[in-house]
Structure 1
Amino acid sequence: MVLFSDGQSVSTINRSSRRFVHRVINIHRFPEITRRDKGQNSQYHEETCSVSGKIEVNPREIREQWVILIKDKMEKALKDVTTSSWDKLCIYRVPHYLQENDKKSYFPQTVSLGPYHHGNKHLLPMECHKWRAVNMVLKRTELGIEIYMDAMKELEEMARACYQGPIEMSNYEFTEMLVLDGCFVLELFKGTIDGFQEIGYAPNDPVFATRGLMHSIQRDMVMLENQLPLFVLDRLLELQLGTQYQIGLVAQLAVQFFDPLMPTGEELTKKNKLKSKLKSVCSPSDNGESHCLDVFHRSLFSTPNPKSPTYISSRKQQLIHCVTELREAGIKFRRKETDQLWDIEFKKGYLKIPKLLIHDGTKSLFSNLIAFEQCHIHSSNNITSYILFMDNLINSAEDVSYLHHCGIIEHWLGSDSEVADLFNRLCKEVIFDPKDSYLSQLSGEVNRYYSRKWNSLKATLRHKYFNNPWAYFSFSAAVILLFLTFSQSFYAVYAYYRPSS
């Protein structure tokens, strides 16, 4: 028996142990004890507490309650795992190692979509505008709100499975959120394509207009933690359009809605460009589920490159040398005329890269695309490969300045150093295997060209001695003069040893 009394057994056990004992024997912490009948509880209390104020604890009782506590934790963990479907999982919490130094890029500033940021205080002003969108949809479709609620109720379980971790929302709250956020997104899509005034909104509307908050809303809607499953939007649009609904229409609307965020700098003015992007996003994703960020990701890379789960190191790898070093090795840079961001080419000493447009939302966009690739097993790693490639190319403001001179980079930031800092930070904590990059073969070709000494010698001669047209004229004149001098000397010596007869 272990005895606790005032001043008698204090030396045999420390304070933390006494807290543990009291916590273990506390009846209200263990439902199993409270379920005992009243007589057993009374008997248990008499065995553990004496009238003199001393607490007598039975080690066997402590061990039994401890085992019960462990089993409860094991059962809870098993229940949490079995109730979630990893096959449908596609909307993730951003890993802490990515958001540690830059939380603003991953958290919405204007509007919340989905359960992760629902109810945040700074996002509440947008809720009234969501209800305005619902009222407009009901007025236009002449359907009751119960029709939409019932449709979302049928999709609730599947929608919950798309989110990582348990969602602390009741069935009613979650269903209401799907209707509210889904109608809001569809109104933005429809208004952007058809015109907000044409679908019933005022020209000076603070939200449903092509100006004002629209850019901030678009930026929030491509954040990984701020997504709705695509099948939810499909079902809501099907209710609105009825027989006019077509499969894949939501993906098409999303591509056109997010066009201003495209980092290629090429607008979708030509039908063939639009068709090529829509073709890459209208097919269902590998696991049958998707969202707007996934649609945007696939629109950037029309040729999917699914990654295989392999062990990779978190140590930063070097794919290619920076622009300054490559120029010293004789490699030239040119802008490639294409709207495909990934289409980088190296041929005969020329590295051709498509134009990249960098604006104030580019950092958040690339950060969330990288986070999605880091989390989603069915996604390719093309964005991460591209960003890491550009990060290796850009080490300083001078590198950015030269790429800007070549027409490869156009930015709206304050200085070239800010662009360099942006790329150097994007992949700082990213786990990535360079061998799994779609640019690994091209990088190997560039590195082999770089390692040839003759290429470096030619580049050095060109940069130091032939960096202007007058240098070529001077060199040519010197060669001609040297040849004439040599000829004159030769004939003088020849005439001396072979005089004319």
Structure 2
Amino acid sequence: METELRLIGDQSQENAGTSDDHVTSIMEADRQWLKSVEKKTKLLPKLLNNSAGKSSCCIFRVPHSLVEINKKAYHPHIVSIGPYHHGKVHLKMIEEHKWRFLGGVLARTQQHGIGINDFFKAIAPIEEKIRDCYSETIECSRQEFLEMMVLDGCFIIELFCIVGGIVQGDIDDPIFKMTRMIFFIMRDLLKLENQIPFFVLETLFETSILSSRKQNVSSLTVLALKFFDHAVQRPPEVLRSNGVLEIPLLTVDDFTTSVILNCVAFEQCYAHCSNHITSYVTFMGCLINAPSDAGFLCEYKIVENYFGADEEIASFFNNVGKDVTFDIQRSYLSKVFEDVNEHYSNNWHVRWAEFKHAYFDTPWSFISALAAFVLLVLTMIQAFFAFYGYFRPPKQ
């Protein structure tokens, strides 16, 4: 390498007629440049760190290509959880209430000798494990990171306990009193970038006073499911599409669409899970190519539309699959895709389905079809007797 540098210097001297001192300065500059290049090769990635492909890493930044399609679907609107959106100005209101919730937790636990220091002691040994759950390198001090985990974790646990009836909340608490406030918080808690690891919540839950009454308290998992159950409308039964496919009722609103988008983003980022949500929305996107398709599914109670017009339903399912990698062989619906395509390739089935939809879909269309059929039969009978009378005239 030094020989190469000398050649560069000699060539520069020959071409430009420079002095030996100038050659030496060029060589030194090249050495510094080469050192800086070598130094860069040893830097660890920060925006997508080396542990991002491990099963332990499960909290990701949503790919920019997906954010561009649905810009408001992935970022929190009212509360930040974890480091990715920590400190943003528009989330400051609930940030202040987190401290109030933590105070409520401490007011109970301190009666049993558990103080704030005990929560930090519980989280400190697993700090590195927590950091490894994030696909980005978290650039904050140890104290700031532990404070964030304890504050956000206790806030979530307190929400679960109040909604689950484990803790008596203030009846005038604005978090629960103001219209739709808790709904917005629920929606933000299910966004991919707005997370802390569940084992952090379990650690804090076990540390709190609730762990001393475990026989009378539901598990954290049950409390979490009860909490989000308030925002999800469950179908009462499985409903049918023309007797061919059985599809559960899907309620489409701001909450469900946000959850679907973030679940799809998670499946795109995390290689150690199924692709069930991506499979489902891809299948629905194949069924809904136009607003009329959305209207058809709404009419048959397969889709319950609280989202807007049929155009918005069609637009959502058409966009959710954009820039998404989908392997049909890994899909739990692969056989359904195969059977539907095979059924559709049979022209007789398609024509019969179109005929039924056109003439037997509603009572009025059936009556019209029946009237037309009767008229056709009468016309044929009239034509038959007319021809019969012509070729076989009655005997005189």
Question: With structure 2 as the length reference, what TM-score do the two structures score?
Answer: 0.82
Q: Give the 3 Å change call, closer, same or farther, for CA 455–86 of structure 1 in structure 2.
A: closer
Structure 2 residue matching 1:352: 3-state secondary structure: strand
Contact 1:385 1:437 in 2 (8 A): yes
Shift of 1:208: 4.6
| Matched residue, 1:150 | 121
Structure 2 residue matching 1:119: 3-state secondary structure: coil
Is residue 188 of structure 1 aligned with residue 159 of structure 2? Answer: yes
Structure 1 residue matching 2:69: 3-state secondary structure: coil
Structure 1 residue matching 2:72: 3-state secondary structure: coil
| Matched residue, 1:426 | 320
The percent of aligned pairs where both chains have the same amino acid is: 38
> Is there any run of 5+ residues in structure 1 with no aligned partner, and where?
4-8, 13-46, 49-54, 267-336, 339-343
Contact 1:117 1:226 in 2 (8 A): yes
- Please, which moves more after superposition, 447-456 or 202-211? 202-211
Provide the rounded CA distance (Å) in 2 between the counterparts of 1:479 and 1:182.
75
| Matched residue, 2:369 | 471
| Matched residue, 1:244 | 213
Alignment of 1:313-352 (within 5 A): 337-338=237-238, 350-352=244-246
Deviations 1:363-390 (A, max 9, x none): 3221111000001111111111111111
| Matched residue, 1:96 | 64
| One-letter code aligned to 1:65 | Q
Q: How many residues align?
A: 373
Provide the rounded CA distance (Å) in 2 between the counterparts of 1:77 and 1:430.
28
Shift of 1:460: 5.0
Provide the rounded CA distance (Å) in 2 between the counterparts of 1:144 and 1:390.
51
Shift of 1:57: 4.5
Provide the rounded CA distance (Å) in 1 between the counterparts of 2:317 and 2:310.
11
| Matched residue, 2:172 | 204
Shift of 1:112: 0.7
Alignment of 1:132-147 (within 5 A): 132-142=100-110, 143-147=114-118
Shift of 1:473: 5.0
Is residue 458 of structure 1 aligned with residue 352 of structure 2? Answer: yes
| One-letter code aligned to 2:244 | Y
Provide the rounded CA distance (Å) in 2 between the counterparts of 1:147 and 1:252.
25
Q: Which has the higher contact order (CA 8 A, sep 6+)?
A: 2
Shift of 1:84: 7.3
| One-letter code aligned to 1:449 | H
Shift of 1:146: 0.6
Shift of 1:468: 2.1
Q: Give the 3 Å change call, closer, same or farther, for CA 379–494 of structure 1 in structure 2.
A: same
1:116 to 62, 81, 84: 84
Structure 1 residue matching 2:340: 3-state secondary structure: helix
Contact 2:69 2:319 in 1 (8 A): no
2:44 to 52, 77, 94: 77
Q: Give the 3 Å change call, closer, same or farther, for CA 407–492 of structure 1 in structure 2.
A: same
Provide the rounded CA distance (Å) in 1 between the counterparts of 2:42 and 2:274.
36
Provide the rounded CA distance (Å) in 2 between the counterparts of 1:435 and 1:471.
43
| One-letter code aligned to 1:184 | F
Provide the rounded CA distance (Å) in 1 between the counterparts of 2:80 and 2:234.
27
Let me know the Cα RMSD of the aligned residues.
3.5
Q: Give the 3 Å change call, closer, same or farther, for CA 188–210 of structure 1 in structure 2.
A: farther
Deviations 1:206-247 (A, max 9, x none): 125584411111110000011111111001111122343489
Shift of 1:62: 2.8
| Matched residue, 2:138 | 167
| Matched residue, 1:18 | none
Alignment of 1:398-413 (within 5 A): 398-413=292-307
Shift of 1:69: 1.2
Is residue 361 of structure 1 aligned with residue 255 of structure 2? Answer: yes
Provide the rounded CA distance (Å) in 2 between the counterparts of 1:226 and 1:129.
17
| Matched residue, 1:255 | 225
Is residue 227 of structure 1 aligned with residue 195 of structure 2? Answer: yes
Deviations 1:165-195 (A, max 9, x none): 2100111111111110000000000011107
Provide the rounded CA distance (Å) in 1 between the counterparts of 2:340 and 2:53.
44
| Matched residue, 2:3 | none
Contact 1:207 1:213 in 2 (8 A): yes
Provide the rounded CA distance (Å) in 2 between the counterparts of 1:418 and 1:352.
24
Question: With structure 1 as the length reference, what TM-score do the two structures score?
Answer: 0.66
1:393 to 283, 287, 296: 287
Deviations 1:395-449 (A, max 9, x none): 2221111111111111222312111111111111212123332222112212222
Provide the rounded CA distance (Å) in 1 between the counterparts of 2:185 and 2:282.
28
Provide the rounded CA distance (Å) in 2 between the counterparts of 1:227 and 1:119.
15
Q: Give the 3 Å change call, closer, same or farther, for CA 82–144 of structure 1 in structure 2.
A: same
| One-letter code aligned to 2:275 | N
2:30 to 40, 44, 63: 63
Structure 2 residue matching 1:226: 3-state secondary structure: coil
| One-letter code aligned to 1:242 | S
Provide the rounded CA distance (Å) in 2 between the counterparts of 1:82 and 1:460.
54
Q: Give the 3 Å change call, closer, same or farther, for CA 248–97 of structure 1 in structure 2.
A: farther
Structure 2 residue matching 1:100: 3-state secondary structure: helix
| One-letter code aligned to 1:250 | L
Provide the rounded CA distance (Å) in 2 between the counterparts of 1:415 and 1:85.
40
Deviations 1:138-188 (A, max 9, x none): 111112111111111112111111111210011111111111000000000
Q: Give the 3 Å change call, closer, same or farther, for CA 487–445 of structure 1 in structure 2.
A: farther
Alignment of 1:444-455 (within 5 A): 444-455=338-349
